[in-house]
Structure 1
Amino acid sequence: MSGTGKRAGSNPGGKDDHMDATKLRSGYTTGSCAAAAAKAALIMMITGEDIYNVSIVTPKGIIYNAEIVDIKKSADNSEVTCAVIKDGGDDPDVTTGAYVYVTLRKSDKEGIRIDGGEGVGRVTKPGLDQPIGEAAINSVPRRMIKENLEQVLLTGKSDIKGLDVIVSVPGGEKIAQKTFNPMLGIVGGISILGTTGIVEPMSDSAIVETIRTHVRVKKAEGKEILLAAPGNYGITFLSERYKLEDGNAVMTSNFVYDAVRIALSEGFSKMLFVGHIGKLVKVAGGIKNTHSRYGDHRMEILSDIANDDGIRSELSECVMTDEAVRIITEKGLADKVFPKMAELIKKHMEEWAEGKIQIEIIVFSNEYTELVSTAGAHGFMEGV
C-alpha cells in the first residue's frame, strides 16, 4: 500500500512520530523498481552493452540507485528484459524481495505503451486508478516509466520510433493474496504502486490511502450505504452473523476518523460501522484513532457511561472488554450502558462527518455475539 496523505500528528519526515525514525530504513515502491528497470533496459537496447546499476529521481526528489539483475536480450537487441529486486526497507511490505521485470520491445508504432504481464493484476471494478481491463499499474508509476524512457531517448542516439513496455512480477498472483487486491477487484497479481516512489516504514498514510481506494471502489459500484469494519474480527462477525462475503466491508483498521472523513469526501451520505466493543468503546470516548499508542481508556469510558461507583473499581481491574461486558451485564446495567455507548459512538462519528452522513452502529463482543445496535442499523444492513 502506498500513499502521500499524512495523518495529523505525523512528522514531516514521513515516519510516524511514535517510531524511532533514526532506526528505520525507507524502501522503494514497485513503481520505482519498474521505472528503473525500464530505463536500464532502454540504455542497453541503445548501447548494446549490459549495465548493472541505474539511477532515477523519484517523485519525492530522492535519487534511487537500483541494481539491475537477470538481463536478457534478443539477438538483434530489439527486445531487452531486466529486473530490479523490490526492497521495501523496514516496512512490513509483502512485495519485498519480489523481482520486478520490465521487457522493452521496439515498435514501428510511435509512442510508449505500457502494459502488465505475469504477476501484475488486472482491474475488474470501477473506481480504481486505472480503467476496467487495464493492468493495475497506477498513474504515477506509468508516468515515471514514460518520463525515464523519454529522457533516455532524448539523450541517446537511436532510431527508435516506439516502445512496448511490459511490467511483470513472477509470483505476483500469490503475493497478491496477502494484499487488498482481491477485495478491490484487482485479479491475477499485484499492483504497481507508489505516489512518491518511496516506501515509508510503518506508514500510516499508506493505510489511509488504501482505505480511500476501497471507499472509492464502493462508490463506483453504486453502493448507497458504506459498510465498514475495523478489521478481521468485524469481517468474521459479518460473515457468521449476516452471511456477508469478504469484500463487502471496507476495512478501516484503527483509522475510524479518517474513514469517516474519506466517506464524506467521496460523497457517501449513509454509513454502517460494525466492530468489536474493544475498538468501538474508544470511539464512544471521542478517540479518533483506536490504536493503543493513543491511549487505552476503555474501562474509564465504560465507567463514565455506567456512572455507577459500585462497579468502577471492578472495571478498572479488567484487562479485556469482554470481561467488562460480563460485569456490566451481571450488575444489571447492560440496558443502560451499551445503548448509551452506541449512541455516543454514533454521535462522535456523525460530528466528524459534519452532520452530513447518517451513521449507524453495530457492536459485538465475545464469540461474535451482537451486543448492541443503533436504531437504524439493521435497516442499513438490509440495504448493504
Structure 2
Amino acid sequence: MEHTGTELRRGWTTGSCATAAAKAAWLMLLGHEPPASVTITLPGGQRPTFAICRTGLDNGHPFAEVVKDAGDDPDITHGAVIRATVRRLPAGSGVQFRAGPGVGMVTRPGLPIPPGEPAINPTPRAMIRTALTEANEGTPPDAEVTLSIEDGARLAERTLNSRLGITGGLSVLGTTGIVVPFSCAAWIDSIHRGIDVARAEGLPHIAGSTGNVSEKAVQKVYDLPDTALIEMGDFVGGMLKYLRRHPVPRLTIAGGIAKMTKLGQSKLDLHSKRGQADMGALAQLAATGGAPASVIDAIAVSPTVAEAFLLATAAHIPLGTLIAQSALRTVLETLAPAPCAVDVMVFDRSGQCVGQAGPSLPQT
C-alpha cells in the first residue's frame, strides 16, 4: 500500500489475500487466462488490486496464490503464501469452505465459527463470496473454496490458536481487510476469542496475564485449566473493555511489578512505547505504606520500578501489595458495572507473588 514521508505503511489481512486468490482461481475456472492481478471489494468499500504470484492446477482444479504484505506491521504471516483452490459444486450448494495445509480447524465452541469448520472467519468468508459473485458476473456461484497457507502449521505455533481450540494451522482473519501497523489487532482479537471460549465452556474463573512467568504462576495458584488463561500481554484495556460487555464470574489479573505499577497509574496499554511508570507517583504510593522520607526520595529518582521495589523491600514497605491495590482500583473502574469479582496478583521475575489485592466487585 502507498504511503508518504514517515507514515507507517498499511498492509493486507490474510482474509484479503485469500479473497484475491479465490477470485483469480474462479476466473480461471470460468475459462479466463490466469490473471496477473485482481481487484477485490473490502468491507469498507475500498477496491485494492492484488498481484497474483502463481497459478496452476491442483488435481485438475485451478488455484491461485498471493504473497501477504502486512505493510510495516510485525505480523508473523508477512510474506506468507496464501493459496485458494476452487471447484464447481452442484446447483444450490452455495459457497463452501475447506481447510487446506496450514489452515486450522475449529475444535471448541465460543469462536465465531463453530467446531468442525475451517478457521476462516466470517468477514473473509463474506469477502470471498462477494469476490466470486463479482467474477461470476453478478450471479452467486456454487463453489468449494479450499484455502492453504504455506508453512501455516509452524507459524501457528507462535499464536494462541492451540489454546483457542484451533488445530493444524493458522486462522484466516480480518474485519476490514486492512492491517493497521502496530494496532496488534490480531492479538486483541485472540484475547476476545479466548474470553468467548472460556464463556462457552462455562468457566467460573479466568486469568489475564502480562507474560509467561505470571501466567504459569497464577495457573499454579488457582489450578486453572489452559482455556481459563488469557495472554493479554500489554493489552489489559482491550481485555477489560471486552469483559465489561461480556463478563465472567471471576477474573484475576496477573503481571510483573513494572506493568502492574503502570496499570495502577491508570494506564490500560502497558507497552513501554506507550509510556513509562511515573516514579514520583510510585514514591507517593510508597509513602502511603509508611515509607520514610529517605526511601520516598530514593524511589522518586529510581531509574526502574525494579530498583524502587528493592528499596521498598529493604525498608519493609509492602510496595507489592500497594501496587496490587492501585491496579485493582483501575481494573474495577474500567470493568464497572460488569458483575465480575476481581483480584490482582503481582509477581516478581521468579514467579513469586509479591502482592495481591481482592477479590472485589466493581461499583455499580
Per the TM superposition, whether the score is higher than 0.5 is yes
Q: Which runs of 5+ in 1 are unaligned?
A: 1-14, 378-384
* 1:220 paired residue number: 200
Establish whether residue 66 from structure 1 lines up as the match of residue 50 from structure 2. Answer: yes
Establish whether residue 166 from structure 1 lines up as the match of residue 150 from structure 2. Answer: no
* Equivalent AA in structure 1 for residue 126 of structure 2: R
Whole-angstrom distance in 2 between the partners of 1:144 and 1:362: 43
Establish whether residue 57 from structure 1 lines up as the match of residue 41 from structure 2. Answer: yes
Residue 261 of structure 1 contacts residue 352 of structure 1 at CA under 8 Å; is this kept in 2? yes
Deviation at 1:242, TM superposition (A): 6.4
Establish whether residue 285 from structure 1 lines up as the match of residue 268 from structure 2. Answer: no
| Structure 2 counterpart of 1:150, from 133, 155, 176 | 133
* Equivalent AA in structure 2 for residue 348 of structure 1: T
Whole-angstrom distance in 2 between the partners of 1:174 and 1:21: 35
Residue 71 of structure 1 contacts residue 81 of structure 1 at CA under 8 Å; is this kept in 2? yes
Whole-angstrom distance in 2 between the partners of 1:225 and 1:240: 14
Establish whether residue 333 from structure 1 lines up as the match of residue 328 from structure 2. Answer: no
| Structure 1 counterpart of 2:353, from 356, 370, 373 | 370
* Equivalent AA in structure 2 for residue 345 of structure 1: A
Whole-angstrom distance in 1 between the partners of 2:238 and 2:189: 10
| Bigger mean CA deviation after superposition, 288-297 or 91-100 | 288-297
* 1:6 paired residue number: none
Residue 62 of structure 2 contacts residue 87 of structure 2 at CA under 8 Å; is this kept in 1? yes
Establish whether residue 187 from structure 1 lines up as the match of residue 171 from structure 2. Answer: no
Whole-angstrom distance in 1 between the partners of 2:85 and 2:218: 44
Residue 345 to residue 249, structure 1, CA distance change in 2 (3 Å)? same
Establish whether residue 350 from structure 1 lines up as the match of residue 332 from structure 2. Answer: yes
Residue 223 to residue 165, structure 1, CA distance change in 2 (3 Å)? same
| Bigger mean CA deviation after superposition, 66-75 or 102-111 | 66-75
Deviation at 1:185, TM superposition (A): 1.1
After TM superposition, the structure 1 = structure 2 runs for residues 225-240 of structure 1, keeping only pairs within 5 Å, are 225-238=205-218
Whole-angstrom distance in 2 between the partners of 1:198 and 1:126: 27
Whole-angstrom distance in 1 between the partners of 2:145 and 2:184: 32
Establish whether residue 316 from structure 1 lines up as the match of residue 300 from structure 2. Answer: yes
Residue 286 of structure 1 contacts residue 348 of structure 1 at CA under 8 Å; is this kept in 2? yes
Deviation at 1:284, TM superposition (A): 1.9
| Bigger mean CA deviation after superposition, 221-230 or 134-143 | 221-230
Question: Deviation per CA, 1:42-80, whole angstroms, max 9, x where unpaired?
Answer: 1112124222111112123332211113211379xx721
Question: Deviation per CA, 1:82-114, whole angstroms, max 9, x where unpaired?
Answer: 111111111111111111111111223432212
Whole-angstrom distance in 1 between the partners of 2:35 and 2:199: 46
Establish whether residue 198 from structure 1 lines up as the match of residue 178 from structure 2. Answer: yes
Deviation at 1:317, TM superposition (A): 3.5
Residue 58 of structure 2 contacts residue 85 of structure 2 at CA under 8 Å; is this kept in 1? no
Residue 11 of structure 2 contacts residue 70 of structure 2 at CA under 8 Å; is this kept in 1? yes
Residue 176 to residue 206, structure 1, CA distance change in 2 (3 Å)? closer
SS in 2 for 1:71: strand
SS in 2 for 1:47: coil
SS in 2 for 1:57: coil
| Structure 2 counterpart of 1:258, from 203, 218, 238 | 238
Deviation at 1:278, TM superposition (A): 0.8
Whole-angstrom distance in 1 between the partners of 2:264 and 2:54: 55
**Two-structure CA RMSD over aligned residues (Å):** 2.5
Residue 13 of structure 2 contacts residue 70 of structure 2 at CA under 8 Å; is this kept in 1? yes
Question: Deviation per CA, 1:175-232, whole angstroms, max 9, x where unpaired?
Answer: 1111121121110001111111111111144433332122111111211222111223
| Structure 1 counterpart of 2:156, from 145, 167, 176 | 176
Question: Deviation per CA, 1:131-167, whole angstroms, max 9, x where unpaired?
Answer: 00100000011011111111222359xxx97321111
Residue 284 of structure 1 contacts residue 301 of structure 1 at CA under 8 Å; is this kept in 2? no
Residue 108 of structure 1 contacts residue 161 of structure 1 at CA under 8 Å; is this kept in 2? no
* 1:81 paired residue number: 63
Question: Deviation per CA, 1:279-304, whole angstroms, max 9, x where unpaired?
Answer: 10122222232223443234323211
Residue 198 of structure 2 contacts residue 227 of structure 2 at CA under 8 Å; is this kept in 1? no
Number of residue pairs matched by the alignment: 352
Greater RCO (CA < 8 Å, at least 6 residues apart): 1
* Equivalent AA in structure 1 for residue 50 of structure 2: A
SS in 2 for 1:150: helix
Whole-angstrom distance in 2 between the partners of 1:278 and 1:193: 32
SS in 2 for 1:164: strand
* Equivalent AA in structure 2 for residue 61 of structure 1: G
Question: Deviation per CA, 1:299-331, whole angstroms, max 9, x where unpaired?
Answer: 323211121422122213423323222211211
* Equivalent AA in structure 1 for residue 69 of structure 2: D
* 2:27 paired residue number: 43
* TM-score, length-scaled by structure 2: 0.88
| Bigger mean CA deviation after superposition, 166-175 or 339-348 | 339-348
| Structure 1 counterpart of 2:255, from 255, 272, 275 | 275
Whole-angstrom distance in 1 between the partners of 2:160 and 2:58: 37
* 2:95 paired residue number: 112
Residue 206 of structure 2 contacts residue 228 of structure 2 at CA under 8 Å; is this kept in 1? no
* Equivalent AA in structure 1 for residue 326 of structure 2: L
